[in-house]
Structure 1
Amino acid sequence: MIKTHKIKLYPNATMQRAFQRLFDYRRYCYNLALETWNSMYDESLLMDDKSLRPNERKVRNELVNNKQDWQYRLSARVLQLAVHDLAQGWQNFFNPQMPNHRQPRFKSKKRSRNTFTTDRAQVLNNRLRLDRPRGCTSWYDIRMAESVRWIGQLKTATVVEEADGYYVALAVEVYESVTIKNGHVVTGVDANIARFDYRDATGYQSVSTMTAKLLRLYERITHYQRLLARKRLANPSHFRSHNYCATRAKLQRDYQKVTRIQLDLLHKFTHHLVQANDVVAIEDLDNLHMRMNKHLAKNLHRSLFGRFKEIMQYKCTWNGVKLVMVDRFYPSTQRCSQCTFVKTGADKIALEGNRLHRTGHDQYMCYQCGANMRRDQNAVENLIQYAMVN
């Protein structure tokens, strides 16, 4: 299996300039490959010949055969891996299992993320050594903030620029056996806005995804966004002043803090789940259509349903835990975990509860057996029962 470790880099001034050249070169190669890809496809339609359809090999050979002299002073792997990323983007676009993947588009210097990938990097004495381009005399190893967590073969190294510096994501192929757990300890995770509810050995627990610190950061982000919008409206032609750039840097740092806090919460929670349980049941929610509700879109996006599912999928694979994806149409909220009665019609529980029976949002009352419990606890029990049957 392949595991990725993200580490902060401390390059000197020479390597920082080299990073910027490689960032620009990767964007140039991607845009040129996309233009070549579209030209080949248009030609195949014009000639009505499917053999002229573009693919990764044809586009890569076309770019390599027409390289300019200045391109030989930069890494050849950046060009080839940029074409590989483009081919993967087209493959995802035509994949019926990824209906929401958009068509590859040209990358803008102002809006695109600064990044490049190479598969010839090495880690020597806690330093990252990138492949030296042809004719380059000044080239240095880059100090890393920590050693690589995984032991194995280094496949790729992706360098990215963020608000507080440079980072590298090292993809390491790890050769280790995974022991499948016996499946005796089962739990279910009910995803709600701003929290996850689950059951462990001590009872029902809840993990919040919107802490007080996150709420303060959200308010600061809103403030900075308003400041930037006013500067753009006041002077649309020349709004990129020093104050504008400083405010944008503050906004980027706050976004980075939010991302790190959210990932820290998710990684700690998912690690606890896979270590303490053998089978975990989660809901396969339709995140895209759920966020179409204009009243709940922002809170749903901040609740991290999609990211939670992604992390659980690979962590369960790493630890031998069985992950049960509960069908999105399974009535875990409407079904009684005591007598299996399912509420329908006017008896169903909505976001505000049930007005007909005067029950609140967090209350579940069964109209058949009379069970009265918290709504989230009932949903967790239903998910556990679904996992035990399936």
Structure 2
Amino acid sequence: MKVRYTFRCYPTDAQAQELSRVFGHSRFVYNWCLRLRTDAWANGERINYNQSSAALTALKRTPEHQWLNEVSCVPLQQSLRNLQTAFGNFFSGRAKYPRFKGKRDKQSAEYTTSAFKYSDRVLSLAKIGRLKVRWSRPFLSSPTTVTISKTCTGRYYVSLVLDEQPHRFEKTGESVGVDLGINRLATLSNGERIPNLKFTRTYEKKLAKAQKSLSRKTKGSGRWNRQRIRVARLHEKLTNARIDHLNKVTTDLVRRFDVVAVEDLNVRGMVRNRKLAKHLSDASFGRFVSMLEYKCAWRGKELVKIDRFFPSSKRCSCCGYVAQTMPLNVRNWYCQECHTEHDRDENAAQNILNFALGQRVNAHGATVSL
């Protein structure tokens, strides 16, 4: 199984200068090839990866582009592969048309096995040398691909692609339904409630003040650049805090339960509601589900996604009665059939679990009444 681990690294000043050159060369090749393929498409032609690779070889031989030979050829070639992947995602409908890379965006360069050496936690890159890496977690196999990146805040990271079989958690025999929400990040079918820490609300005053200060400075000046980095660090701190919380919650769920059931929410459509868009984005439902998905696959657990049109909130988990309407402001309701009082989120989580278990039984040929 292919896994990716990311570690913080600390290049020396000379290495940082060389990495800046590698990033710039890789960015130039990516943008140059994107322009080449875009112009060719406008003229009714199509350029594939092999043709773009041959064009890059010819470009490096021209006198005005001899500087492309100053760095390792592997990151430049990988830029073409990344662009090919971007076009593949575009034509498959999974992403928008590739855009040009900017020097103030996140920078990255990818190295394959021919351009790096790894042995006993010592990583050396071609024409860069040995990197100081903070190895924060153990792994057994050797990396097949190394990607070094620099964030907008000036921090460097090394990402390793490994072929490993992650450690599987012990089976507990327990199942749980999870209902996602804004007031509470998740409500479990067993009654547990996971709070939504609302990180955007925590940092929004600091961000507003920092961004206001940035807008008052002359764009491109030294003070503007320093303030831009301060704003980027606040955004990075917010993102890291959110991801850390989601990682802890999802790992705990996968560790404790063998079957985790969630709704297949249309997050892209939900954020079009301008009144809830900020809160939905802050809760990160999509990232929450994607984390559950890959962690269940890694740890030998099962994730069941329920159809988004299943009336989990309006359905009574005791008798199956379905209410006609259920506005968002209704958090508790009485069933007209069995007269049971329900907490909206807990009832939805129980319905999600019941439906998921029914789906699993049906998959084995049994008949279940839902």
TM-score, with length taken from structure 2: 0.89
The answer to whether the 8 Å contact 1:126/1:147 transfers is no
Give how far 1:38 is off.
Answer: 1.9
Q: Among residues 293, 300, 318, which one is paired with 2:280 in the alignment?
A: 300
Matched, 1:103 2:100: no
Name the CA distance, whole Å, in 2 between partners of 1:10 and 1:125. Answer: 18
1:372 aligned residue: 341
Give how far 1:178 is off.
Answer: 6.1
Name the CA distance, whole Å, in 2 between partners of 1:177 and 1:207. Answer: 26
Residue type of the partner of 1:165? R
Describe the superposition over 1:135-180 as per-residue Cα deviations: whole angstroms up to 9, x where unpaired: xxxx430111125532223121111112252111111111468699
2:265 aligned residue: 285
Change (3 A) 1:320 1:150: same
Higher alpha-carbon deviation: 328-337 or 238-247: 238-247
Change (3 A) 1:90 1:331: same
The answer to whether the 8 Å contact 1:195/1:303 transfers is no
1:247 aligned residue: 227
The answer to whether the 8 Å contact 2:4/2:162 transfers is yes
Q: Among residues 75, 79, 90, which one is paired with 1:78 in the alignment?
A: 75
Helix, strand or coil for the counterpart of 1:105?
coil
Residue type of the partner of 2:244? D
Q: 5+ unaligned residues in a row in structure 1: which ranges?
A: 46-51, 133-138, 232-237, 354-361
Give how far 1:194 is off.
Answer: 4.8
1:325 aligned residue: 305
Name the CA distance, whole Å, in 2 between partners of 1:175 and 1:375. Answer: 40
2:160 aligned residue: 170
Name the CA distance, whole Å, in 1 between partners of 2:110 and 2:196. Answer: 32
2:148 aligned residue: 159
Name the CA distance, whole Å, in 1 between partners of 2:76 and 2:279. Answer: 40
Name the CA distance, whole Å, in 2 between partners of 1:261 and 1:179. Answer: 25
Give how far 1:363 is off.
Answer: 0.9
Matched, 1:115 2:108: yes
Name the CA distance, whole Å, in 1 between partners of 2:69 and 2:54. Answer: 15
Residue type of the partner of 1:226? K
Change (3 A) 1:177 1:240: closer
Q: 5+ unaligned residues in a row in structure 2: which ranges?
A: 360-370
1:190 aligned residue: 179
2:247 aligned residue: 267
Q: Among residues 83, 86, 91, which one is paired with 2:88 in the alignment?
A: 91
Residue type of the partner of 1:351? L
Residue type of the partner of 1:275? R
1:4 aligned residue: 4
Name the CA distance, whole Å, in 2 between partners of 1:42 and 1:214. Answer: 42
1:357 aligned residue: none
Name the CA distance, whole Å, in 1 between partners of 2:336 and 2:91. Answer: 48
Change (3 A) 1:170 1:339: same
1:387 aligned residue: 356
Helix, strand or coil for the counterpart of 1:141?
strand
The answer to whether the 8 Å contact 1:224/1:251 transfers is yes
2:367 aligned residue: none
The answer to whether the 8 Å contact 1:194/1:303 transfers is no
Name the CA distance, whole Å, in 2 between partners of 1:387 and 1:125. Answer: 45
Higher alpha-carbon deviation: 188-197 or 335-344: 188-197
Residue type of the partner of 1:27? R
Name the CA distance, whole Å, in 1 between partners of 2:242 and 2:109. Answer: 25
The answer to whether the 8 Å contact 2:87/2:97 transfers is yes
Higher alpha-carbon deviation: 242-251 or 375-384: 242-251
Name the CA distance, whole Å, in 2 between partners of 1:64 and 1:181. Answer: 54
Name the CA distance, whole Å, in 2 between partners of 1:239 and 1:177. Answer: 50
The answer to whether the 8 Å contact 2:200/2:282 transfers is no
1:30 aligned residue: 30
1:66 aligned residue: 59
